[in-house]
Amino acid sequence: MKKIMLVAAAAGLLSIAACKNTPTDNAADAASDNLEMLADNLEAQAENTSNEAVAADLMNASENAEDASDAIENSAELNGM
């Protein structure tokens, strides 16, 4: 029961913290999160393929998506978002 209350309290605090973000902050966060999910999906596809060349291409695309996500996060931090 205590864990449920802790999770509920954390969710409430996160929602309050999210209210202070500007639309630009929210867009940068969403874009970064989407790129991270894309990278995870590409990596999972690479692990599940038996073709080594395709796996290498998928891993490369995954790393590029992660780099793009990091670039968005770094840009947001540098611009004070």
Q: What per-residue confidence (pLDDT) applies to 26?
A: 86
pLDDT at position 80, please? 67
What is the Cα gyration radius of the chain? Answer: 17
Contact 59, 42 (CB under 8 A): yes
User: In this structure, what DSSP letter does residue 51 have?
Assistant: -
**Residue 80 — left, alpha, or beta (φ > 0 → left; ψ -120 to 50 → alpha)?**
left
pLDDT for 7 = 46
63 vs 8, higher pLDDT: 63
